[in-house]
Amino acid sequence: MDIRVMVVDDSRTIRRQLGRALTKEGFEVIEAEDGEDALEKLRDGPLPDVLISDVNMPNMNGIELLEQIAETPSWSDLPVVMLTTEGDPKVVKYARKLGAKGWLVKPCRPPLLLDVVRQLCGAVAS
Amino acid sequence: MKLVLIDRQSSEGPRLGRILTALGHHVQRVDDEDALVQSLTPDAPDVVIAVLPDPYIEEWLPWLDGVESHVYRIAALRMMHGDAVARAWDCGMDDLFAWGASPEEVVGRIEAITRIRRWAYTLGDVLDRQPFSLSMLGSEAELAESVAHELSALAGEMKAQPAGAQALGDEGMAAEVLLSLPDQHLALRFGLFVADSMSRPFGTAVFGEPETHELRIDALKEMANTVGGALKRQSLRHGMTFAMGLPREAKAPPAAVDWSGWLQHDTFSLFAWAKVVGARPRRLAVGALREGMVLVQRVLGINGRLIAGVGTVLTQRTVDKLAKHVCESTLVQVTNS
């Protein structure tokens, strides 16, 4: 079964670069352009195995998305990794409190991201 | 607001509890040390009201010193006589009132705390921080090296070149990001420019093929965003928390800048600049707020609960949340992003 990763970022460049790196390694990628788009895709299903989200985005930012995920019981087990340029310790702490499993600072080289995704979904590199 | 009432079966404790609960505050009553410690985690209360006298209360209060944020301490004294008042101040109380105080007095004192906290927060920012200057982030050469390092991960290795080494092309694409420092009324604009002649090699370096103009602009915006984030993280080391807006397309670098540098890739070059600009806050009604503005003040709900903090970059969702919890005509201070 394919492992699904949702990439939430308002930058098409990041979605394109991550999408390529993940697809090349056999992951199925779902793209969302902000928190609202991600929520809609989570509601419509299928649920991803891992969600990677930016923080600063229009409409609904990554922290607001994380709040929504934390408040929804059926999504509470979904591992979320934040991938962002944001480095304010208060924001990092709040994200951790909301259940974020990781905080990666952009620019993040694909091998590191792939390692994190594999760890979170328990997949073995093919 | 979360309040803890330390009380051992006095008649005053329940009365205060009723007054505060009616105001919409969450009130927790504790009657021993263990319960007090438990009430401090995971979220510390905003206020602890100790219904004195209790011979043990002075031993309980040091627990509050271990809490990360300051917890306001109010003593409710059975009698407002000299010894009791002196003892309460010696315990480190922030405020006092007497048993039987009218609901208006209790309410007034609790509401005053909300105002004092807002004022102290702003004052703390002003007192603790030096005025921002670009030189805090490094010399001109160090800044260029740092920008080159950040961008290398997105486009392949880039090297900093001395400023002024190349002429800026007439036409090209540019992107910039604005970092606001609300308490100092200033903002830092950081931007990147690629001449038209370099645009396709730029696209190829980022995507493996030239791609569309629109996607190349997106890549340039993401690069500005990445460097903006790095500048924000560097500033945090100096105790300054910039609020970063969303990157946007720009027309061209401004005529006068505070810093600039060329970044050289094998196949293209990028011009980077930074400019410190004034960003005085203005007051706007909640109903007129727009996505991308930066809040310069905390916004609290009617029960004192935090709705949005200083430095919040408004998203559409935050704007909707504020409109829901605060009257649309309420004025708040913002800067534009």
Cβ pair A85:B225 closer than 8 A = yes
Cβ pair A108:B153 closer than 8 A = yes
DSSP H or E stretch at residue B89: helix B82-90
- Amino acid sitting at position B225: N
pLDDT by position in tens, chain A (length 126):
589 999 999 999 999 999 999 999 999 999 999 999 999 999 998 999 999 999 999 999 999 999 999 999 999 899 999 999 988 888 999 999 999 999 999 888 888 899 999 998 874 444
> Nearest residue on chain B to A61, judged by CA atoms?
B315
pLDDT by position in tens, chain B (length 337):
788 888 877 888 899 999 888 877 888 888 877 788 778 776 778 888 888 765 556 666 666 666 656 788 888 888 888 877 887 787 778 888 988 999 888 888 888 877 777 666 666 555 555 678 888 888 888 899 999 999 988 888 999 986 665 667 668 999 999 999 887 888 999 999 999 999 999 999 999 999 999 999 999 999 999 999 999 999 988 888 899 989 999 988 888 899 999 999 999 999 999 999 988 888 889 999 988 888 888 888 776 677 888 888 899 999 998 988 888 888 888 887 5
> Nearest residue on chain B to A58, judged by CA atoms?
B315
Chain A contact for B298 (CB, 8 A cutoff): no
Q: Nearest CA of chain A to the CA of B236: how many Å?
A: 7
DSSP three-state, residue B308: strand
Best of A85, A98, A109 to mutate (most B CBs within 10 Å, chain B): A85
Of A14, A56, A108, the CB nearest to B313: A56
Of A57, A64, A85, the CB nearest to B229: A85
Question: Which phi and psi (to 5°) does residue B23 adopt?
Answer: -80, -10
- CA dist B25 and B181 (Å) reads 32
Of A57, A84, A109, the CB nearest to B153: A109
Cβ pair A13:B219 closer than 8 A = yes
Chain A contact for B219 (CB, 8 A cutoff): yes
Cβ pair B236:A88 closer than 8 A = yes
- CA dist B73 and B335 (Å) reads 34
- Please report the number of interchain residue pairs, chain A to chain B, with beta-carbon separation below 8 angstroms: 81
| Tens digits of residue pLDDT in A69-104 | 999 999 989 999 999 998 888 899 999 999 999 999
Cβ pair B222:A13 closer than 8 A = yes
Cβ pair A64:B221 closer than 8 A = no
Of B218, B245, B315, the CB nearest to A64: B315
Angle at Cα B29 formed by Cα B26 and Cα B30, nearest 5°? 135
| Tens digits of residue pLDDT in B76-100 | 888 888 877 887 787 778 888 988 9
Residues of B in contact with A14 (CB under 8 A): 222
> Nearest residue on chain A to B154, judged by CA atoms?
A107
Whose CA is closest to B291, among B318, B263, B311, B310?
Answer: B318
Whose CA is closest to B190, among B239, B134, B237, B152?
Answer: B134
- CA dist B93 and B2 (Å) reads 18
- CA dist B200 and B212 (Å) reads 9
Cβ pair A36:B317 closer than 8 A = yes
Cβ pair B317:A64 closer than 8 A = yes
Q: Nearest CA of chain A to the CA of B233: how many Å?
A: 6
B157: which 2 tokens? Answer: 């290795």
B67: which residues sit within 8 A by CB, 6+ positions away? Answer: B40, B44
Q: Nearest CA of chain B to the CA of A56: how many Å?
A: 7
> Nearest residue on chain B to A20, judged by CA atoms?
B207
> Nearest residue on chain A to B223, judged by CA atoms?
A107
> Nearest residue on chain B to A56, judged by CA atoms?
B246
